[in-house]
Amino acid sequence: MTTVLVVDDQPLQRYGFRVLLDSIPETEVVGEAAHGAEAVRKTAELRPDVVLMDVRMPGMDGIEATRRIVESGGRSRVLVLTTFDLDEYAHAALRAGASGFLLKDARPEELLAGIRAVAGGDAVIAPALTRRILDEYARHVPADRSDPSEDPRLASLTDREREILVAIGKGWNNGEIAARFVVSESTVKTHVGRVLAKIGARDRIQAVIFAYDLGLARPGAG
Amino acid sequence: MTTVLVVDDQPLQRYGFRVLLDSIPETEVVGEAAHGAEAVRKTAELRPDVVLMDVRMPGMDGIEATRRIVESGGRSRVLVLTTFDLDEYAHAALRAGASGFLLKDARPEELLAGIRAVAGGDAVIAPALTRRILDEYARHVPADRSDPSEDPRLASLTDREREILVAIGKGWNNGEIAARFVVSESTVKTHVGRVLAKIGARDRIQAVIFAYDLGLARPGAG
DNA sequence: GGGGCCGTAGTACCGCGGTACGACCCGCCA
DNA sequence: TGGCGGGTCGTACCGCGGTACTACGGCCCC
């Protein structure tokens, strides 16, 4: 059973979603909200699996509400709906942390598939928008690099050394690495030295760059 | 009526798709191919609306076949199928110009929705992959508003200090920076110290990470 | 003219990082 | 049984990195 909170400023629209979702055993509408602030409050209160969020609303709009819901750290996933395929909305919504973006004219089975996917932790985008996303993607994402994680220099590292490399990529100094791995700093130095030699890095700084280039290190990782 | 070419090296799999697609009036399987080369040839010959393409095949694989079909400039759209959610396949396929990427364990209605979307000129991605695509997308495509290069810590840097930060991000040591900027190493140290203080970094390693997170440093540079 | 910001430069000091050893334990395998 | 790779730990040494402080010329603006 997937619990859903329906957010839309139009009562009739909310009614339509409720009828649709309650007509099948898989989903249940546990609440409704008419604007962003109410959506944030009811999400915290009802903890639905999925929040069905309209973008255009008076007061706090769906984007801002989505951002707050996501930042609150709860379990609820947000599936954003809009009447138009205005992709600035889509971009903003997805960057706000929405798990999906669909058009209101989606057929019922598409909406249900979207809710199912979002509830399962996946993401979903309206097909009409997917093309643009993919075009942008193909244009911006650098060509392959023949999968850098298969770099021969990486292959020569032992498991432990790979862990060390990741730790270096996080910006930790030897003492911090020693503390987190519960070994002595001498041991860390030994490992670091071997890692540098194997990947051909002059110092740990170039190891950090190496880790980033290969995608071992990720922005925002602490 | 949507015409479909089914490409898979396993006859039984092709049969399954044919039964499914011919069971509904909306789609019609107009041909089959057992490997990439045959897929390319039959696509040119039959001009199907959609090519249902398996990735893993002996000889020319689905990726290469997709690339050739797309480059041939025909009207046919390619919908790639795979058993596993190996995202290196997904990336390669989408970069090869595929209009969609689904898993073989997709439910029939998902597959049909995918074919419908692709035939209509839209694109479709398996929900399980959409999240990764979005993550990549968010990381690579310049965000129009929450541009990290507007980070207040960056704004406090002078032009010279920004140059120094970029140089740090390239992995250069103080001597190298001094040589390239034609200043003394003392000057470099002064700048570096100020940069670290302003961006709140403990050492140049965290400055490197900072530069990468903000997109100041780019893989493959320097 | 005076004050601030910026870029430049220097000295002095300390600590971390990196290297070069040597050493021990463990599990695996010939 | 011995050898070998991997992980662990230690000592010693040196150099680069980072900090603190001072200093000066150029520039802009009050």
pLDDT tens digit string along B114-136? 898 888 888 888 877 777 676 66
Q: Give residue B102's pLDDT band: very low, low, confident or very high (50, 70, 90).
A: confident
Average the pLDDT over each of A18-27, B57-66, B107-116 and give the range with the smallest value.
Answer: B57-66
Question: In the structure encoding, which two tokens stand for residue A79, read together?
Answer: 């599936």
pLDDT at A1: 86
> Burial of B176 by CB count in 10 Å (0-12 exposed, 13-18 middle, 19+ buried)?
middle
Q: For A25-77, write each residue's pLDDT tens digit.
A: 989 999 999 988 999 999 999 999 999 998 877 777 888 898 888 888 778 89
> Burial of A91 by CB count in 10 Å (0-12 exposed, 13-18 middle, 19+ buried)?
buried
Residues B31-60: what's their mean pLDDT? Answer: 88
One-letter amino acid identity for A59?
G
Write the residue in B123, B208, B219 that is nearest to A131 by C-beta: B123
Establish whether the CB of B174 is closer than 7 Å to any nucleic acid atom in strand D.
yes
Q: Do B113 and A117 touch (CB under 8 A)?
A: no
User: Which residues in chain A touch residue B91, judged by CB atoms under 8 angstroms apart?
Assistant: 141, 144
pLDDT at A218: 62
Q: What span, in angstroms and rounded, lies between the C-alpha atoms of A189 and A175?
A: 9
Dmax (CA) for chain B in angstroms is: 78
User: Which residues in chain B touch residue A133, judged by CB atoms under 8 angstroms apart?
Assistant: 123, 133-134, 137
pLDDT at A141 over 60: no
| CA neighbor of B77 nearest in space, from B61, B94, B91 | B94
Q: Give residue B78's pLDDT band: very low, low, confident or very high (50, 70, 90).
A: very high
CA distances from A5 to A41, A45, A90, B79 (A): 11, 11, 20, 34
Q: What is the CA radius of gyration of chain A?
A: 23
Most confident of A132-146, A152-166, B137-151: A152-166
Residues A106-128: what's their mean pLDDT? Answer: 83
Place of tokens 């008076």: A58
Angle made by CA atoms A56, A60, A66, in degrees to the nearest 5: 80
Write the residue in B110, B138, B205 that is nearest to A208 by C-beta: B205
Q: Give residue A209's pLDDT band: very low, low, confident or very high (50, 70, 90).
A: very high
Q: What are phi and psi of B208, to 5 degrees?
A: -60, -45
pLDDT at B49 over 90: yes
Nearest-nucleotide field for B202 (CA, C1'): D18
Residue A117's contacts (CB-CB under 8 Å, 6 or more residues apart) are A100, A123, A124, B127, B130
**Tally of residues, chain A:** 222
Query: What residues 107-126 of chain B have any CB closer than 8 A to a CB of chain A?
Result: 109-110, 113, 117, 120-125
Average the pLDDT over each of B41-50, B125-134, B178-187 and give the range with the smallest value.
Answer: B125-134
Q: What span, in angstroms and rounded, lies between the C-alpha atoms of B178 and A210?
A: 23
Nearest-nucleotide field for A158 (CA, C1'): D6
The neighbour count for residue A176, using CB atoms within 10 Å, is 14
Summary mean pLDDT of chain A: 83
CA distances from B80 to A169, A206, A215, B99, B112 (A): 35, 39, 26, 8, 13
- With contact defined as beta carbons under 8 Å apart, do B46 and B18 qualify? no
Residues B129-157: what's their mean pLDDT? Answer: 63
Tell me the CA–C1' distance in angstroms for B160 and C7.
8
Percent pLDDT > 70 in chain B is 86
pLDDT at A221: 44
- With contact defined as beta carbons under 8 Å apart, do A61 and A54 qualify? no
How far B33 CA sits from the closest chain A CA (Å)? 26
pLDDT at B18: 92
Residues B19-24: what's their mean pLDDT? Answer: 91
Q: For B153-179, write each residue's pLDDT tens digit.
A: 777 888 899 989 999 999 999 999 998
Q: What span, in angstroms and rounded, lies between the C-alpha atoms of B28 and B20?
A: 10
More confident residue, A113 or B15: B15
One-letter amino acid identity for A89?
Y
| Protein CB footprint (7 Å) on chain D nucleotides | 6-12, 16-22
| CA neighbor of A153 nearest in space, from A195, A187, A189, A206 | A195
| CA neighbor of B131 nearest in space, from A40, A92, A133 | A133
Q: Give residue A132's pLDDT band: very low, low, confident or very high (50, 70, 90).
A: confident
User: Which residues in chain B touch residue A147, judged by CB atoms under 8 angstroms apart?
Assistant: 88
Q: What span, in angstroms and rounded, lies between the C-alpha atoms of B34 and B47?
A: 17
Residue B66's contacts (CB-CB under 8 Å, 6 or more residues apart) are B51, B53, B78, B80, B93, B96, B97, B98
Establish whether the CB of A205 is closer than 7 Å to any nucleic acid atom in strand C.
yes
- For the whole model, what pTM was predicted? 0.54
Average the pLDDT over each of A12-21, B33-42, B70-79, B186-195 and give the range with the smallest value.
Answer: B70-79
Tell me the CA–C1' distance in angstroms for A41 and C11.
61
pLDDT at A85: 58
One-letter amino acid identity for A66?
T
Nearest-nucleotide field for A159 (CA, C1'): D6
Write the residue in B128, B173, B213 that is nearest to A220 by C-beta: B213
Q: Residue A52 belongs to what H/E stretch?
A: strand A50-54
pLDDT at A93 over 80: no
pLDDT at A81: 87
Tell me the CA–C1' distance in angstroms for B167 and C14.
25
Q: Residue B33 belongs to what H/E stretch?
A: strand B27-33
Establish whether the CB of A10 is closer than 7 Å to any nucleic acid atom in strand D.
no
> Burial of A135 by CB count in 10 Å (0-12 exposed, 13-18 middle, 19+ buried)?
exposed
| CA neighbor of A123 nearest in space, from B6, B63, B162, B137 | B137
Percent pLDDT > 70 in chain A is 86
Paired sense of beta strands B100-103 and A27-33, if any: unpaired
Residues B34-63: what's their mean pLDDT? Answer: 87
More confident residue, B94 or B9: B9
Place of tokens 């290469």: B64
Summary mean pLDDT of chain B: 83
Q: What span, in angstroms and rounded, lies between the C-alpha atoms of A208 and A214?
A: 10
Q: Do B209 and A217 touch (CB under 8 A)?
A: yes
pLDDT at A142: 54
Question: In the structure encoding, which two tokens stand for residue B97, read together?
Answer: 């110009």
Establish whether the CB of B181 is closer than 7 Å to any nucleic acid atom in strand C.
yes
- With contact defined as beta carbons under 8 Å apart, do B8 and B17 qualify? yes
Write the residue in B121, B122, B138 that is nearest to A95 by C-beta: B138
Question: In the structure encoding, which two tokens stand for residue B218, read together?
Answer: 């780019």
More confident residue, B94 or B68: B68
pLDDT at A127 over 80: no
pLDDT at A51: 94
Q: Give residue A86's pLDDT band: very low, low, confident or very high (50, 70, 90).
A: low
Q: For A184-196, write each residue's pLDDT tens digit.
A: 999 999 999 999 9
Q: Give residue B144's pLDDT band: very low, low, confident or very high (50, 70, 90).
A: very low
Q: Please give the torsion angle defined by the CA atoms of residues B142, B144, B147 and B152, in that order, rounded to the nearest 10 degrees.
A: 160
pLDDT at A131 over 70: yes
